[in-house]
């Protein structure tokens, strides 16, 4: 499970680098919720 989680963290970090500053702050505030919102918006 730790391996899968590490992959998710890497993807989040990559998205943070591509995303605006506001999304980076949102990720830090909401944590995993940011991933759920991103997937919902993308799909």
Instruction: Work out the number of other CB atoms within 10 angstroms of the CB of residue 38.
Output: 17
Q: What is the 3-state secondary structure (H, E, C) of the chain?
A: CHHHHHHHHHHHHHHHHHCCHHHHHHHHHHCHHHHHHHHHHHC
Q: What is the pLDDT of residue 7?
A: 82
pLDDT tens for 11-37 read 877 777 776 655 555 555 555 565 655
Q: What is the pLDDT of residue 15?
A: 74
Q: What is the pLDDT of residue 35?
A: 60
């Amino acid at each position: 499970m730790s391996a899968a989680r590490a992959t998710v963290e890497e993807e989040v970090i990559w998205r943070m680098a591509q995303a605006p500053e506001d999304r980076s702050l949102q990720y830090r505030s909401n944590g995993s919720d940011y991933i759920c919102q991103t997937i919902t918006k993308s799909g």
